[in-house]
Amino acid sequence: MVFVSMLHPLDPASEMYVPGTLSDVEHVLVDVGTGYYVEKNVEDTKEFFKRKIDFLTKQIEKIQPALQEKHGMKQAVIEVMNMKIQQLQAQQASQSGTTKA
């Protein structure tokens, strides 16, 4: 039996790790989502994560154009708001200048 030393995360959201030892290096538990774990051999695990990476890459490529469009719209709104603010400030400055005279 082969034992492999490793650092294991205390919980998925934590940056704290504790020392651990793997007694079976041919099988691992894989988090498949919503708190479910499946025991897989190393080759199946590699394939699982390759498929997951491919899926996520395709999803990123799919939403990238929409994200760029939203960013452009946000920039246009910011420009319009800045113009309106400048106009309002200029109007207030001219009104305060005429009331003092």
Q: What is the pLDDT of residues 27-46, one digit of tens each?
A: 988 999 898 999 999 999 99
DSSP secondary structure string for all residues of 39-76:
EEEHHHHHHHHHHHHHHHHHHHHHHHHHHHHHHHHHHH
Question: Which of the four pLDDT bands, split at 50, 70 and 90, describes residue 101?
Answer: low
- Determine the 3-state secondary structure of 1 from DSSP: coil
Q: What is the pLDDT of residues 51-84, one digit of tens each?
A: 999 999 999 999 999 999 999 999 999 999 999 9
Question: Which of the four pLDDT bands, split at 50, 70 and 90, describes residue 23?
Answer: confident
